[in-house]
Structure 1
Amino acid sequence: MFVNSDNYIKYLKLWLITLFLLIILMVAVGGLTRLTDSGLSITAWELFTGILPPLNVNDWNFYFSQYKKIPEYQNINYDMTLSEFKIIFYWEYAHRLLARFVGLFSLIPLIFFSLTFKDSKYYSNKYYLIFFLVCLQGFIGWYMVSSGLIENNDVSHFRLSVHLSLALLILSLIFWFILDIFKVKRFHEKISNLLLLFILLLIVIQIILGAFLSGLDGGLIYNSWPDMNGSFFPNDVKFNDIINSQLLSNPSIIQFLHRSTAYLLIFFIMILNYFYIRQKHDFKYLLFFDVVILIQIFLGIITLISGVEIKYASLHQLGSILVLSTYILILYKNSN
C-alpha cells in the first residue's frame, strides 16, 4: 500500500502548531479565570454534561444555588447578584468548553494519522503522549477546583501550581516536537548541560512560585520595587515563619522568593551569554531570549506596582510561556 509521507508530515505540522496555539489560548483563558476569581463558579465536574450554558432562568438559578453552598460565596461573595454570577460563570464555562475542544483535537487527528499513515516510515505513536497529558490535565483541573468547594475560600495554591506547570509541560513537549519535525539545526559545540539544566530548573521554580503567589493573592502586598515597602526582606516575617511547615503558604515569603529567584536567574543567564560569546554560537536565539526575559521582568514589576491589574497580570502569565518556549529552543539547539 502506498502512503504519502509528505502529506503525513504536512498534516502533522499543522496539527502540532494548531494545538500549540490552542493551549496558549487555554492558558490565557485559565489565567483570566483565576484573576477574575471565576474558577469556583461551576461546582460540578460535568465531564459529559454542561456543554451548553444555562438556557433559561431555572438553569441559572440552579447553578447559582449550587455556588451559594460553597465557602467562597458564604464568606466573600454573599451579596453577589445573579447578574454578577453570570460573569464569573461564563469565564469558567469558556475555560471548560475550550478544554473539551483541546481534548478532542488532541485525539481525533491522532486516530486519523494512525488509520491513514501508519505504514509511513515517519509515523510514530509518541504523539499520543500529548493526549495522555491533556487528559491528566483535565483531572488535575478538577482536583484543583475541588479543593475550594468544602472548607476553603479558594483553591489550593499547590494544586493551582501543578495545574499551570502541567499546562506548560504540555506546551514545551509540543514545541519540542515542532522543532524536531521542522528539523531545526543544532549546534556542533554544546554549552555545558549542567548550566543549561540549572537555568531550566530556575525557570520552572520561578513559574511555580508565580503560581503560588497567584493562588495566595500574594501580589496584593508589598507593591513596591526594588524594596519591599522600604526593606530588602518582608518586615512581617519572623525567623520562625521561615523554618515552620507553613513556609510555602506565606505570601510574603513567596513574594520574596519569587523576587530572589528572578535575580538569580538573571545572574546565570549572564553566564550563559558569556559562554555563547566565547564559543561563537549564533547569538540571535539567545539575544531574543534575553529580550523576552527583560520584558517579563518589566511586566512582573508593573504587575506588582499596579496592585495586580488584570491586564498586566495576564500579560505576565503569557510572558512565562514565551520565556519557557524560547528557552526550550536554546535547549533543543544544544541537544544531541
Structure 2
Amino acid sequence: MPFDPHPPRSARQDDRRPIAWWLLGVAGLIWAMVALGGATRLTGSGLSIMEWAPLSGTLPPLSEAEWQRLYDLYRTIPQYELVNRGFGIEGFKRIFWLEWAHRLWGRLIGLAFLLPLVWFWVRGRIPAGLKPRLLLLFALGGLQGAVGWFMVASGFEADRTAVSPYRLVLHLGLALVLYGMVLWTALGLLRPERTGPRRPAGLRRLVHATAGLLVLAMLAGGFVAGLRAGLTYNTFPLMDGRLVPEGYAQLSPFWRNLTANIAAVQFNHRLLATLAGLAALAAAAWGARALPAGPARAALLALGAVVALQYALGVATLLMVVPVWLGTLHQTAAVGVLTAALVALHMLRPPRMPAR
C-alpha cells in the first residue's frame, strides 16, 4: 500500500502506540475540518475573509472600525453584489465567523501536529524510518493551507459568486489524501504485524476496487458541490424522468461535460456512488461468508453499512434540495466512508513472508 510506513519489527510497542494515538487524534481533527469546510461552502461563508494572514488572522476583528474595513472589502466582490447585497454588517458577521472558525481550526491542526512531533523527536521516541513520513505529512498540511487560499482567491474574480469547482476539488482531494495518509500511518503503528490466515485474494482485489470507486465518487461529489448541481434534478432514481439526463453530452469537447455540465456531473456522481455501493455490499457479503469472526470480517461488514448509510444520506440530500445541515452531514459521512475503506484494506493485508 502507498501509505504503509513499514515500521521495523524492532520498534518498541511503548514508542509506537503513543504516536499512533496522537496521529489518530490529528485524523479526527482533519475529519472535523472537512465538516467545517462543508458548512462553510453551503452557507456561502468562504469568501467573507479576503485576506491571507496566517499569523495576524488568528485574531478576529477587535474593533468596529476593523469590522467595517473587512465589510467594505467584502462589498467589492461579485458575491456581495449578486447574492448578499444589502444584508448589512450583521449579516456579514454571521458568515465571517464560520469562515474564521474554519481557518482557526486549520491552524490548530498544524499546532496539534507540530508540537507533539517536536516532543517525540527530541525524546527519541519516533521509530526508525518514520521521521521522513511525519515530515511529509507536516509539509502536506502546510500545502493544504496554501491550496485553500488558492481556492478562495478564485471566488474574487469578476464573474464569480463562488470558488472555482476545479480548485474546490483540488482542495477536497488533498484533504482526503492527507487524512488517508495520517490514518494509514496510525493503523500501521497499532497493527504492524501481518499474521494469521491468508484472506482470499479476490476479496482483497474487490475491496481495492471498492475503495477506488469510493474515492472517484467523492471527487465527483466535489464537482457537484462546486457547480451546485444538487439544486437541480431533485428526483431519484430518474433525472427528470430519464435514466441518463437530456443534455448529458451537450458541451464540446466531450471531456468538458465531466466537470462543467450540471446534468453530466450529477449523473456521474450518482453512477459512481451506485457502483461503489454495490461493490461495498458485495465485499461485505463475501467477507461475512468467507472470513471467520474477527477484525477483518467486522471491518468489511462496517464498510458495507457505512457506504449504505452514506448512499441514503446522498439521496435524502438530493430530494430535500440540499439543506445546509444535511449537505454538511453528507460531506462529513464521506470521511467515515473513507475511514471504513482504509480500515478494511488494512485488515486484509496479506501476511508477510518470513525472511530466509
Q: Please, what TM-score do these two structures have when normalized by structure 2?
A: 0.86
Aligned CA distance change for structure 1 residues 265 and 218 (closer, same or farther; 3 Å): same
Q: 1:69 aligns with which of 67, 71, 76?
A: 76
- The equivalent of 2:250 in structure 1 is 240
Matched letter for residue 211 of structure 1 = G
Mean Cα deviation higher: 124-133 or 271-280: 271-280
Check whether the contact 2:207–2:341 (CA below 8 A) recurs between aligned residues.
no
What is the rounded CA distance, in whole Å, between the counterparts of 2:201 and 2:189 in structure 1? 23
What is the rounded CA distance, in whole Å, between the counterparts of 2:78 and 2:126 in structure 1? 55
- The equivalent of 2:7 in structure 1 is none
Match runs of 1:88-103 below 5 Å: 88-103=95-110
Matched letter for residue 222 of structure 2 = A
Check whether the contact 2:168–2:226 (CA below 8 A) recurs between aligned residues.
yes
Matched letter for residue 161 of structure 2 = N
Mean Cα deviation higher: 204-213 or 271-280: 271-280
Aligned CA distance change for structure 1 residues 261 and 123 (closer, same or farther; 3 Å): closer
Residue 9 (structure 1) shift: 3.1
- The equivalent of 2:90 in structure 1 is 83
Check whether the contact 2:277–2:304 (CA below 8 A) recurs between aligned residues.
no
Residue 178 (structure 1) shift: 1.8
Matched letter for residue 250 of structure 2 = N
Secondary structure at 1:240 match in 2: coil
- The equivalent of 1:112 in structure 2 is 119
Number of positions where the alignment pairs a residue of Structure 1 with one of Structure 2: 332
- The equivalent of 1:175 in structure 2 is 183
- The equivalent of 1:280 in structure 2 is 291
Q: Aligned-pair RMSD on alpha carbons?
A: 2.2
Q: Percent identity?
A: 33
| Runs of 4+ with deviation above 6 angstroms | none
Deviation digits for residues 216-272 of structure 1 (CA, Å, limit 9, x no counterpart): 11111111111112221223x164337545311112211111111122223333443
- The equivalent of 1:299 in structure 2 is 313
What is the rounded CA distance, in whole Å, between the counterparts of 2:127 and 2:242 in structure 1? 63
Mean Cα deviation higher: 266-275 or 209-218: 266-275
2:214 aligned with 1:203 = yes
Aligned CA distance change for structure 1 residues 131 and 119 (closer, same or farther; 3 Å): closer
What is the rounded CA distance, in whole Å, between the counterparts of 1:18 and 1:216 in structure 2? 33
Secondary structure at 1:208 match in 2: helix
Check whether the contact 2:248–2:264 (CA below 8 A) recurs between aligned residues.
no
Aligned CA distance change for structure 1 residues 199 and 14 (closer, same or farther; 3 Å): closer
Q: Please, what TM-score do these two structures have when normalized by structure 1?
A: 0.91
Aligned CA distance change for structure 1 residues 239 and 124 (closer, same or farther; 3 Å): closer
Residue 275 (structure 1) shift: 4.3
Check whether the contact 1:8–1:117 (CA below 8 A) recurs between aligned residues.
no
Secondary structure at 2:56 match in 1: coil
Q: Which runs of 5+ in 1 are unaligned?
A: none
Q: Which runs of 5+ in 2 are unaligned?
A: 1-10, 351-356
2:276 aligned with 1:265 = yes
What is the rounded CA distance, in whole Å, between the counterparts of 2:163 and 2:300 in structure 1? 37
What is the rounded CA distance, in whole Å, between the counterparts of 2:340 and 2:213 in structure 1? 15
Matched letter for residue 162 of structure 1 = L
